[in-house]
Chains A and B, each alone.
Chain A
Amino acid sequence: MNVSIELYASLMKHLPPGKSRFRRDLKVDDGLILNRLIEQFHIKPEEAHLVLINGHYIDAEERDDRKLAAGDVVSIWPPVAGG
């Protein structure tokens, strides 16, 4: 199935070469678990601070069970504490 991943801000360094600065469209196994996708991009759990599927917040505890569906857009933002 096809899904998309968006890595924002300092997470962009994890994206493989491609056209968009922040987004890649991917073919993945049906029912892929969210955390397995995050691992494929070598993003550490603490770096994947805010994870959204289609703009909805996914709690850290849900990410090991949450199955992706075709067309899902996964957006990931890093933690920020500076000021």
Chain B
Amino acid sequence: MKQNQKDRYARHIRLSQIGEKGQQAILDASILVVGVGGLGSPAAMYLAAGGVGKLILNDFDIVETSNLQRQIIHHNHSVGENKVDSGQQTLEMLNPETKVEVIPYQLEGDELKQTIESVDMVLDCSDNYPTRFEVNRYCVETGTILVSGAAIRLEGQIMNYQPATNSACYQCLYSQAYESEESCEVEGVLGPVVGVIGTLQALQALLILAGLGEELVNRLLMFDAQGMHWQGVTLPKNPNCPVCSGH
């Protein structure tokens, strides 16, 4: 590790659980962030600040004024830009050492699968079930780690899929029957709620990269912001899961 990296990440390295070895794993990692909105904003910013080697940002949306109350990677002057371009600019200001690539259209099918196969980990920061199901399926098929967060109104959830441990996948938790049209546009969302969940996604990502993912296997967390209630539960792998039962 170069001296400037030792300086920059000194507070990580100082942690006995991370050390130079953990930081090097973070520096060597590549992560696909699906969705550069409320969850993806803090997630991508912490990942870049933390030194993740390469981030691929994927989003087909344009920054709108109504995004700015929570999507803190975007700025007032970003309105009208592609979210991925605006996100890339912010990340480059935060940490020019992190290589940022952008995909400004909806990734799906083979291209999504190939992109997932090319990275070490995926952060699902999207806002709809069809994307979540497809991302999960390709993560299972390609054996790629997935950290999946969701939030709306005053509530949130986070889980992860770690293929090396034969853990439960997203579809063990959500059967394909879910097709809710709920959106933050219709339902509303309090800004820091997505911030909390997106930040936890970055935290789980760094823990897993640094080799500290063991305690997170099959761990599902639910958050009720109004009462500051957290409930953590062990999510068992569904032996009949249509996605992961054969893997």
Residues of chain A whose beta carbon lies under 8 Å from any beta carbon of chain B: 8-10, 21-22, 46, 49-50, 52, 55-57, 59-60, 75, 77-83
With CB as the reference atom, state the residue of chain A lying closest to B231: A75
Residues in A neighbouring B146, C-beta threshold 8 A: none
Q: What mask results when residues 208 to 237 of chain B are scored 1 for a CB within 8 Å of chain A, else 0?
A: 000000000000101010110101011110
Assess the B127–A52 pair: CB atoms within 8 A: no
Does B38 sit within 8 A of A, measured CB to CB? yes
Residues in B neighbouring A83, C-beta threshold 8 A: 35, 37-40, 124-127, 149-152, 184, 194, 198
Shortest Cβ distance from residue B200 to the other chain A in the assembled complex, whole angstroms: 13
Does more than half of chain B's interface fall in helix, strand or loop, or is it mixed? Answer: mixed
The docked-state distance in angstroms from the alpha carbon of A21 to that of B126 is 30
The docked-state distance in angstroms from the alpha carbon of A78 to that of B222 is 10
What's the A-B contact tally at a CB cutoff of 8 Å?
90
Tell whether A60 pairs with B175 under 8 Å between CB atoms, given A21-B227, A79-B180: yes
A-B contact pairs, 10 of them (CB 8 A): A8-B229, A21-B226, A81-B127, A81-B150, A81-B178, A81-B182, A82-B183, A83-B184, A83-B194, A83-B198
The docked-state distance in angstroms from the alpha carbon of A77 to that of B223 is 9
Assess the A8–B224 pair: CB atoms within 8 A: yes
Of A56, A60, A80, which one neighbours B156 at CB under 8 angstroms? A80
Q: What mask results when residues 145 to 187 of chain B are scored 1 for a CB within 8 Å of chain A, else 0?
A: 0000111111111000000000000000111011010111001
Assess the B128–A81 pair: CB atoms within 8 A: yes
Shortest Cβ distance from residue B189 to the other chain A in the assembled complex, whole angstroms: 7
Of A10, A56, A60, which one neighbours B155 at CB under 8 angstroms? A10
Residues in A neighbouring B183, C-beta threshold 8 A: 82
The docked-state distance in angstroms from the alpha carbon of A5 to that of B125 is 31
Residues of chain B whose beta carbon lies under 8 Å from any beta carbon of chain A: 35, 37-40, 124-129, 132, 149-157, 173-175, 177-178, 180, 182-184, 187, 189, 194, 198, 220, 222, 224, 226-227, 229, 231, 233-236, 238
Tell whether A82 pairs with B182 under 8 Å between CB atoms, given A8-B229, A57-B235: yes
> Ordered nearest first, which 10 A-B pairs have the shortest CB separation?
A82-B152, A9-B155, A83-B127, A83-B39, A80-B150, A8-B224, A77-B222, A80-B157, A57-B233, A9-B224
The docked-state distance in angstroms from the alpha carbon of A55 to that of B189 is 27
Tell whether A8 pairs with B40 under 8 Å between CB atoms, given A46-B177, A46-B178: no
Residues in A neighbouring B238, C-beta threshold 8 A: 59
The docked-state distance in angstroms from the alpha carbon of A20 to that of B224 is 14
The docked-state distance in angstroms from the alpha carbon of A19 to that of B55 is 48
Residues in B neighbouring A10, C-beta threshold 8 A: 153, 155
Assess the B180–A81 pair: CB atoms within 8 A: yes
The docked-state distance in angstroms from the alpha carbon of A21 to that of B236 is 29
Assess the B132–A81 pair: CB atoms within 8 A: yes
Of B127, B174, B226, which one neighbours A82 at CB under 8 angstroms? B127
Assess the B231–A81 pair: CB atoms within 8 A: no
The docked-state distance in angstroms from the alpha carbon of A79 to that of B126 is 15
Residues in A neighbouring B184, C-beta threshold 8 A: 82-83
Residues in B neighbouring A56, C-beta threshold 8 A: 233-234
